[in-house]
Amino acid sequence: MVDSDGNRYVDLTSGFGVAFVGHRHPEVVEAVKRQADRLLHALGDLHPSDVKIKLLEKLCTLAPWPQARAMLSLSGADAVTAALKTAVMATGKTGVVAFEGSYHGLNYGPLAVSGFAKRFREPFVGQLQSDVHFAAWPGADLGVEAALKRLPEDWSRVGAVIVEPVQGRAGVRFPPPGFLEALRRVSNKNGALLIVDEIFTGLGRCGAWWRSVDEGVIPDLICAGKALGGGLPVSACIGREDVMRAWGDPDREAIHTGTFYGDPLGSAAALASIQLIERDELAQKAVDRGKAFAAMLRAEQLASVNEVRQAGMMLGLQLEGSMRALHVSRALLERGYLVLPAGAEADVIQLAPPITVNDEQLEGFVASLRAALGGP
């Protein structure tokens, strides 16, 4: 990346996870240019473009169900909104179980189920869905069974459980083995839909199309975004066909849509991105490259780094001390590396490099990180 003053940076954030296939990948750029010469805008759900239909069909083939349906939108928050609405349509129940530390976006629907920071919700609490139960996120101090005991006792109003396979903004926090499977069982038992937010973790980032499915869990609804558009704003809510049929006859007037949902340019970019991930086996490359990167970081035994958490090309460096990640990320910026602080205490460095990052860039980052942490 080059800023307005000509300074060069290595982006280890992928633009908040968007540029998994790399910034302005030539095949994505070419796909957008070709589509721009054909059609810039179509009439959404009324008269959809051919490229939108192709994208919907492709997304359904990537789904873990024999029959699937998808709804396109622009942002990850849009996809979560569609999933929450779908749960109400399918179950007739408005309550939601979400998790402490979760981040699903800042639009009203997603904001209501985001437990990352109360300060995001407090100014708008009077306008937010109130029927949300924030359950504890399991970890070193709270096992799966103990976490399950903190779920609500009364499920009569709960129509959805929404969860990230890995909590990204909360500090790349992994649940213990068996937790997602337990949520699947609890959701089934209580007649709630399991929504998995794969906006950050999916589409190859964690080494598979869908992190939850790779872990052996089949959700009812999947939210996708970020890497999907290869740099353009594209997202999707993908669901089991029987669940999505709750929206009713598709020949009737749509009650959830948007003027630019599934726009031709974004759809073309998404198709090109998916093709790259498939053809070049980028999910497997994320597994191999992520393991090598994590091993490189662990081998350095970096001062003040207590743990390196990793799944594919999604890593979290647990630092000693509250707010430490703010200072370290600034020091790395001055050395030419873009990273993000994460965690409620800003004590985690979040790393999500593009799959195109090379060894020289990673080695340079590790050396700069050592210096930023005050090492030799």
Same domain, 19 and 166: no
Same domain, 292 and 354: yes
Q: Are residues 186 and 229 in the same domain?
A: yes
Query: Is 2 inside any structural domain?
Result: no
Give the start-end residues of each E strand in the chain. 10-11, 68-73, 95-99, 132-135, 158-163, 193-197, 221-224, 235-240, 305-311, 314-319, 337-338, 340-342, 348-351
233, 262, 279 — which closes off a domain?
Answer: 279
H helix or E strand, kind and range, residue 60: helix 50-62
In a domain, 173, yes or no: yes
Q: In terms of domains, do 117 and 252 share one?
A: yes
Helices (H), 221-322: 241-244, 264-279, 282-299
The domain that holds 209 is classified in CATH as 3.40.640.10
- Is residue 65 included in any domain, yes or no? yes
3-state secondary structure of 320: coil
Show the tokens assigned to 33: 């240019």
Q: Are residues 17 and 99 in the same domain?
A: no
Assess whether 14 and 62 both reside in one domain: no
CATH number of the structural domain spanning residue 339 = 3.90.1150.10
Helix axes 359-372, 282-299, angle to 10 degrees: 40
pLDDT tens, per residue, the chain with 376 residues: 999 999 999 999 999 999 999 999 999 999 999 999 999 999 988 899 999 999 999 999 999 999 999 999 999 999 999 999 999 999 999 999 999 999 999 999 999 999 999 999 999 999 999 999 999 999 988 999 999 999 999 999 999 999 999 999 999 999 999 999 999 999 999 999 999 999 999 999 999 999 999 999 999 999 999 999 999 999 999 999 999 999 998 777 889 999 999 999 999 999 999 999 999 999 999 999 999 999 999 999 999 999 999 999 999 999 999 999 999 999 999 999 999 999 999 999 999 999 999 999 999 999 999 999 986 5
* Inside any domain, residue 134: yes
The pLDDT assigned to 376 comes to 59
Q: State if pTM tops 0.95.
A: yes
Number of separate domains in the chain:
2
Q: Is residue 50 part of a domain?
A: yes
Nearest to 100 by CA among 153, 157, 164: 164
pLDDT of residue 46: 87
- Produce one character per residue of 30-69: b if its CB has 16 or more CB atoms within 10 Å, e if not: ebbeebeeeeeebebbeebbebbeebbebbbebbbbeebb
pLDDT at 62: 98
**Structural domain for 318, as ranges:** 10-23+281-372
Q: Does one domain contain both 100 and 142?
A: yes
- Residue 8 three-state SS: strand
Domain end (from 261, 279, 297): 279
